[in-house]
Every structure is written in C-alpha cells, then in structure tokens.
Amino acid sequence: MILVRPLEITLIILALTLVACSDHGNAQVSHADATQRSVNIGYGILRATLKDERHLKTIRLTKTIVTFKSISEPTRRIIDDIAQTSSTALEELEQLASLSPAIIFDAERGGQIEQMTRDALRITTVKEFLASKDEFEVIFLISQTQALRFISHLTKELSVIEINAKRKEWLGRLSYQYEQLYLRVISRLKIA
C-alpha cells in the first residue's frame, strides 16, 4: 500500500497539471477574444468618428449658404483637408477590415446610449455652427482640436494592440496625419 500512495499522488498531480494547462489555454483564448473585441470596438469608434469628420466640408458649405458669410481661406483649407483625410481614411479602413483577423464593426460598443449621445452631440454642434455669426471659425476650430486629438490617440492606441502588420502600419500613419492636422488647427487658433 505504501507504493500505491505515491502513484495516487503522481496521478493527482498529473491530472491537476493537465487541468491547469487546459485552463491556461482557455485563458489565453479568452484573453485573445477580449483583445479582439477591444480592437473591434476601437475600430467601430474610429469608423463612426471618421464618418462624422468626412462631412465637415458639407457643414462649411451649409454655413456659407445659410448665413451668406464665408470663412477665411486658411480655415477653409483646414476644413477641406480634414474632410478629405477622413474620407480617404474611411475608404482605407473599409478595405483593411477584411484582412485577418477581420474587423467586425458592429461589435458591441456603447449601445443605444452611445448612439443617442452621438446624435445629440451632432445636432447641438450643427446648431452652434449655424447659429454662430462671427465666431463660427473659432467654435469650429476648438471643436476640431478635440476630434483630431481623439482620432490621433485612438489610432495610436489601436496600433499598440493591432496584430495585423499592414493595419498596424496604417494606424501609425493615420495617427501622425491627424496629429499634424491638430497642430494646424492649433496654429490657426492662435491667429483667429
């Protein structure tokens, strides 16, 4: 019986080791799933933000038509550059989304409350832009400092956890582009 005891202990240790390895594998899969979910959420937020930013030129044109007041040429160029950069980035994101691992844009984000908040913010922002007279440029530029800095940091953080090399490189370039746009807006604010 003395010989059986070490055998039982050995079998128990072996069984526990197998269970621990099995749980460790599940933990790794679970961690990978959680990371990919975070990536999908981040890309969903990026996509929604780029969709908003690509319409800046339309907002600018609407403001001019409604108020019969144009904005300065330097601010017009910044608005159009942000809109064009965002439109191009959105197209590139849609193309890159199919690379492995594929991006699932409809991943759970903030749900209904996030959408309601985004919609309310859009309406408020458009009303402010259209109602403002002489201060349109300043209000616009201030709002863009927040949006551009957000995109710059979001893309930078996504690049840290992105495992696809092509998307990782694209995110790095995009972060730089939006940081440069941010600096242009800050520079323009100093003059305006």
Torsion, Cα of 182, 183, 184, 186 (10° steps) = 90
First to last CA, the chain: 91
pTM for the full predicted model: 0.77
User: Using one digit for the tens of pLDDT, what is the confidence trace for 147-181?
Assistant: 999 999 999 999 999 999 999 999 999 999 999 99
- The CATH number of residue 162's host domain is 1.20.1260
Residue range(s) defining the domain that contains residue 41:
4-191
Asked if residues 180 and 85 have their Cβ atoms less than 8 Å apart, the reply is no
User: Using one digit for the tens of pLDDT, what is the confidence trace for 118-127?
Assistant: 788 878 877 7
Asked if residues 174 and 43 have their Cβ atoms less than 8 Å apart, the reply is no
User: Using one digit for the tens of pLDDT, what is the confidence trace for 12-44?
Assistant: 443 444 444 444 444 444 656 777 888 888 999
Q: How many domains does the chain have?
A: 1
